[in-house]
Amino acid sequence: MTSNIGEYGQALRAAIGEDVSTNTGLTFIIEPQLGKRITRDETEGVSVGTSAVTVGDTVYKANEHLEYIVQDGDLDHSGKWRKQAKAATSTTVEKVGNFEQFTVLP
């Protein structure tokens, strides 16, 4: 997946690998190779992806990935980035997806 520096309004997706449709405590992390980590939650537009979506060669299964709509100013560095999804399954357990890489073009 690639984006352009300064883009916003498009959905980023990150897999968790199991059904999190009833979970709360959703967190979406985007992090440039150089720069500050951005962590977002449900109050900032993070939601469970309720439909299956294919992006390039990656299939995000329904209810097994999180989506975050990129806000103005989020993608402020060009280069390699990574993203990750987390969902609390209880007060003592959190499911964490693997980091996925993407590129932000100048």
Please check the confidence at residue 100 and state whether its pLDDT lies above 90: yes
Q: Do 71 and 55 contact (CB within 8 A), yes or no?
A: no
Average the pLDDT over 48-69 and give the result: 96
Q: 70-91 pLDDT, tens per residue? A: 999 999 999 999 999 999 988 8
pLDDT at position 92 = 87
Please check the confidence at residue 98 and state whether its pLDDT lies above 90: yes
- Per the DSSP assignment, residues forming a β-bridge with 99 are none
What is the domain extent for residue 52?
2-105
CATH number at residue 62: 2.60.40
Please check the confidence at residue 34 and state whether its pLDDT lies above 90: no
Average the pLDDT over 17-25 and give the result: 92
Please check the confidence at residue 35 and state whether its pLDDT lies above 90: no
Number of domains composing the chain? 1
pLDDT at position 103 = 96
Average the pLDDT over 6-16 and give the result: 96
